[in-house]
A and B are shown apart, each in its own frame.
Chain A
Amino acid sequence: MSLSIALTINGTQRTVELEDPRVTLLDLLRERLDLTGTKKGCDRGQCGACTVLLDGRRINSCLALAVSQDGAEVVTIEGLAQGETCHPVQAAFIAHDGFQCGFCTPGQIMSAVGLIQEGQAGDDPERVREGMSGNLCRCGAYRGITEAVLEAQRSLSQAGRKEAA
């Protein structure tokens, strides 16, 4: 069986030849495609630093075999900004100091984008904290992270209402 896979990554179609089926999506992004914004923290699905959107849903890329994702659409932290303009979630993390060292931040932001799209948390800080519990921050910037997610949620839902009107 050929281990050639096709992926759409941040809107661009890529075909990748895998020499070995052991490659995770995380390692493919970082080592083969130079998309190093996605971080390798624990590499065991416990910290959330490797969070990306796979077919629109947040997942841990460290536990996904790349070969099994043939045909999927992947969005990484590099795919969020529009040119020089930050995505609203990125802007909110900056405005609310939602980080300190920054290592977990790409995973936090991708997870927040996924959480907002899932639409389960609303403006309830407790639901946001629970919804973000798969992303650890060793610096303990959780307060700023929660505030950033809440603000991003507000600005995105306002933008959505304007668009609808």
Chain B
Amino acid sequence: MNRFDYVRPATVSEAVAAAAAPGSAYLAAGTNLIDLMKGGIVSPQRLVDVSRLPGLDRIEPLPDGGVRIGARVRNADLAHDPTVSKRFPPVAEALLSGASAQLRNAATVGGNLLQRTRCAYFYDPASACNKRQPGAGCDARGGENRLHAVLGWSESCIATHPSDFCVPLAALDAVVEIEGQAGRREVALEEFHLLPGTTPERESVLAPGELVVAVRLPGAAARFAAHARYLKLRERTSYAFAVVSAAACLHIEDGVIAEARLALGGVAAKPWRARAAEAALAGVRPNSEHFRRAAEAALAEARPSGDNAFKIELARRIAVRALALAAAGTPERLPALPASPFAPIPGGALHG
């Protein structure tokens, strides 16, 4: 790990001022940053510790029925918050399917949004990586890339965003509140992360020194609460990143889908909102034929970036299954293995 200066500002405005110095990075729990620093993947000159900043640790109800989540709320506290798990159940399910209990007890909301890809070539300083070192090339292109992106990738970078939490956030129209030296601004979560293009080192809309202070879920997103699931395929039962995942949310009225939301994880450098699939589901009955058609629409633009063509069909099937599980109804209590694709669909066929 490189040497660095450590500062612990007392307020958000002090933090933003401290982080304006080039080479600064914010430190919250450090569950990703310290790992990256140990590996020599990043080497900030100054850590601005935001882990105790006042006012960022609350989950507050909003007048519209939504909720405002402070950026340093811990993943576990958010997942077990009664309002969040009742009104926005796929957020809780996604959180509890991610990482381990120890990491969820430490890791924060803001840190989750800003965590880096787990591409092995990004993590290996001896490999070429345009994200780590712009212009260096991409060893993932000709390397071990079965888990890499199938949507939105470029010749420069085929990495995926690893977050589970961000997938239902994208589906539910979450908004990110950002504080910078120029004041406060808001960005839709869907627009927060950037696709790689020719600048894969730029991963979000944050300008240097800007700080995520909160994430808001709008009250309108609670209309999906009765039919909303997160589903995640992993290469082992638990404690693994998604191969592919899906957040599926249905608002069903009189047996017809009035409105649908679908977002995919593990497929791109950002949580992937599948608006074409949502359009295909609006006004139709929730059945397997319509789910399959929606999944086709969601992956219509997908193409393999390496040995990962299988992920395209896998993503379709996870989307279909997530929609079927959502249609069957949000369970009263999350299953023992949150987001597991191996649980049977209540009242449905084993294979969706």
Contact = CB atoms under 8 A, between A and B. Distances in A.
Interface stretch (B95-103, B146-154, B155-163, B276-284): B95-103
B4 A21 contact: yes
Contact of A51 (B29, B102, B237): B102
A43 B34 CA distance: 10
Contacts of A59: 102-103, 105-106
Interface size class of B (residues with CB under 8 A): 20 to 34
Contacts of B8: 1, 68
Choose among B31, B35, B39, B102 the residue with the greatest number of A CB atoms under 10 Å from its CB.
B102
Given A1-B6, A63-B31, A127 B49 contact: no
Contacts, number: 95
A65 B30 contact: yes
B96 to A, nearest CB: 9
Interface string A128-156: 01111111000000000000000000000
A118 B27 contact: no
A57 B337 contact: no
A22 interface: yes
Interface size class of A (residues with CB under 8 A): 35 or more
Q: Is the interface of B mostly helix, strand, loop or mixed?
A: loop
A112 B29 CA distance: 22
A127 B333 CA distance: 12
B337 A68 contact: no
Nearest to B99: A134
Choose among A57, A63, A127, A133 the residue with the greatest number of B CB atoms under 10 Å from its CB.
A63
Interface in A1-51: 1, 3, 20-22, 24, 43-45, 48, 51
Contacts of A111: 101-102
B184 interface: no
B3 A20 contact: yes
A132 B238 CA distance: 10
Nearest to B51: A68
A102 B193 CA distance: 43
Contact of B103 (A60, A65, A130): A60
A59 B105 CA distance: 6
B299 to A, nearest CB: 30
B30 A64 contact: yes
Interface string A47-82: 010010010011110011101100000000000000
A158 to B, nearest CB: 23
Interface of A: 1, 3, 20-22, 24, 43-45, 48, 51, 54, 57-60, 63-65, 67-68, 111, 114-115, 118, 120, 124, 126-127, 129-135
Interface of B: 1, 3-8, 27, 29-31, 34-35, 38-39, 47, 49, 51, 76, 80, 99-103, 105-106, 237-239, 336-338
23 contacts: A1-B8, A21-B5, A22-B3, A24-B34, A44-B35, A44-B38, A45-B31, A45-B102, A48-B102, A59-B105, A60-B100, A60-B102, A67-B49, A68-B27, A68-B30, A68-B51, A120-B80, A124-B336, A130-B336, A130-B338, A133-B101, A133-B238, A134-B102
